[in-house]
Amino acid sequence: MNGSAHSAALPRRLLPAACALLVACAAADAAAKAPAKKPAWKPKPAPVVRTADGLSVSSKYRSPRNTQRRPRKTTRFIVLHTTEGAAKGSLEKLSANGECHYVVDTDGTLYLIVDKKLVAFHAGLSMWDGKTDLDGCSIGIEIVGRHDKEITAAQYATLRKLLSELKRTYEIPDRNVLTHSMVAYGNANHWHKYRHRGRKRCGMLLASPSARAKLGLQPGPSFDPDVKAGRLRNADPELARILYAKSAAVAAAPAPKGGAPAKTSAPAAPAPPAAPPRVQAVAKPAPESNVIGPGRSAWDIARDRYDDASTVYTFPNGRRKTGAEITSKEWRTMPAGTVVEVDAAGSAPENGNEGLLTIGVDGTADGLAGDAIASQSTFYFPEGKPYRTGATMSLSEIESLPSGTRMLVGYKAVGPVSPKRPVFSLCGVAWNRGDTYYWDPARRTLRPGDEITERTIPKDAMVFVRKD
């Protein structure tokens, strides 16, 4: 249940958002309803709230994006992430962009980022069992740490309590507590000419049976339903081995080989001797080299950040380039011995690529849009020129767009705004969200919805809203 039905008519900023802390706190609610005549003095929310399970939640990094986010219609999954960076920078960035619901620091401190009822942008391009856009139906928890390192005892303790509370609140079964690496997928790129699993290794080790046991969770899924169904192909066998192979050993029944068992009237052949379940030692990831060589590509090392401006390539001849500067041809001829530094500046987002993107800063058009590069829902905004959709451009036109060109992926254009068609009638409460954009046709500029008021909507503005 959520408040969307009656709250849709209200501007989101008027809602008592503080009440969406772990446990709806009646005290805060009452405070919000207290005489609202003198808004000059704003009571600051208490920085720490204690939940029913005795868990302390700090709101020190509560995201300013809370006012722009819509409530989720359903909550079916919990997605676990690793920040891949230190606490402070990760907290600041996750808060600024509203990219998860909770962060668990190495000392076990729990931070609330986005209120648990609202949508946080944490999963990016994602799919599980045919369901896409997991942001719309999941809670995202970031754990400060790395995908290939064990987390701390204090983190296990906090996370276990938090999961217990969330599972109870939303009636989420253990099998729907997943890692980001399980649900993230990538569009076709230079290395994989198909939609693939393996875009991220985020949260990888949290899928291990030992980690799940410490978190009070039953063993996870024993196979990838989307790979099995052919919706995706597996581009990272080692990741799949870590996520699933060991679960097969403890699964009650072996999975049928080669898809559904064929119904046949032929006499039953004697059953082949059942292969003894191969009990594998818990899969340990191989050390991850950051040098390109036989069997190790830029994609293997940097994943979906291979063409980020924050990823730096040092070639054997000493020359350096960022991922955003490398051409299509150079990807194919990258020499062995090239050293790849992901997040060389130490500040790149783990999730990233949400909302407005910039060619040459966030990556190339190809890398950012994947197989949506020439789609009707991809929009390009070359500086000082009219915008165009990918569907009206040739690939060579798109690839020659100058660095600095902005783009939106997975959007639809509604409008233009006119006296007969006010913006609220075009896109409802999305009108002032930070991930909604206004195109001013006279000035040829783009502004986010959270910088727009009813008075500053540009004349004849075209409005770009996320496709849901």
Chain residues binding Zn ion by CB under 5 A are 81, 180, 202
* SS3 labels along the chain: CCCHHHHCCCCHHHCCHHHHCCCCCHHHHHHHHCCCCCCCCCCCCCCEEECCCCCEEECCCCCHHHHHCCECCCCCEEEEEECCCCHHHHHHHHHHHCCCCEEECCCCCEEECCCCCECCCCCCCEEECCEECHHHHEEEEEECCCCCCCCCHHHHHHHHHHHHHHHHHHCCCHHHEEEHHHHEEECCCCCCCCCEECCCCCCHHHHCHHHHHHCCCCCCCCCCHHHHCCCCEECCHHHHHHHHHHHHHHCCCCCCCCCCCCCCCCCCCCCCCCCCCCCCCCCCCCCCCCECECCECHHHHHHHHCCCCCCEEECCCCCEEEHHHCCHHHHHCCCCCCEEECCCCCCCCCCCCCCCEEECCCECHHHHHHHHCCCCCEEEECCCCCCEEHHHCCHHHHHCCCCCCEEEECEEEECCCCCCCCHHHHHHHHHHCCCCEEEECCCCEEEEHHHCCCCCCCCCCEEEEECC
Nearest CA to 77 out of 184, 156, 152 is that of 184
Q: How many angstroms separate the CA atoms of 189 and 199, rounded?
A: 11
Residue 38 CB, nearest distance to Zn ion (Å)? 43
Nearer to Zn ion, 81 or 195 (CB): 81
* Cross-strand pairs, 126: 184
Minimum Å gap between C-beta 350 and Zn ion is 5
Smallest gap from Cβ 215 to Zn ion, in A, equals 17
Q: Are 61 and 87 in contact (CB under 8 A)?
A: no
Q: In whole angstroms, what is the distance from residue 83 CA to residue 60 CA?
A: 18
In the bound state with Zn ion, the residue whose beta carbon lies nearer, of 12 and 81, is 81
Closest CB to Zn ion among 370 and 458?
A: 370
Smaller CB separation from Zn ion, 180 or 246: 180
Per this entry, what is the length of the chain?
468
Minimum gap (Å) between residue 306 Cβ and Zn ion: 16
Q: Which two tokens stand for residue 291?
A: 């040098």
Q: Regarding beta strands 462-466 and 411-414, do their DSSP bridges make them parallel or antiparallel, or are they unpaired?
A: antiparallel
Nearer Cβ to Zn ion (202/368):
202
- Residue placing its CB nearer to Zn ion in the complex, 22 or 202: 202
For the CB of residue 305, give the shortest distance to Zn ion in the complex, in Å. 12
Q: How far is the CB of 146 from Zn ion (least distance, A)?
A: 11
Question: Is the separation of the CB atoms in 100 and 149 below 8 Å?
Answer: no
Distance CA 457, CA 226 (A): 43
State which residue, 136 or 441, has the beta carbon closest to Zn ion. Answer: 136
CB of 143 to Zn ion, least distance (A): 10
Cis peptide before 416 (omega within 30 of 0): yes
Residue nearer to Zn ion on the CB measure, 93 or 180: 180
Nearer to Zn ion, 62 or 81 (CB): 81
Nearer to Zn ion, 19 or 242 (CB): 242
Name the minimum Å distance from CB 124 to Zn ion: 8
For the bound state, the minimum distance from the C-beta of residue 351 to Zn ion, rounded and expressed in Å, comes to 6
Kindly tell me which of 99 and 115 has the beta carbon lying closer to Zn ion: 99
Q: How far is the CB of 106 from Zn ion (least distance, A)?
A: 17
CB of 441 to Zn ion, least distance (A): 37
For Zn ion, the closer of residues 161 and 180 by Cβ is 180
The least distance separating Zn ion from the CB of residue 5, rounded to whole angstroms, comes to: 31
- Is the CB of residue 358 less than 8 Å from the CB of residue 404? yes
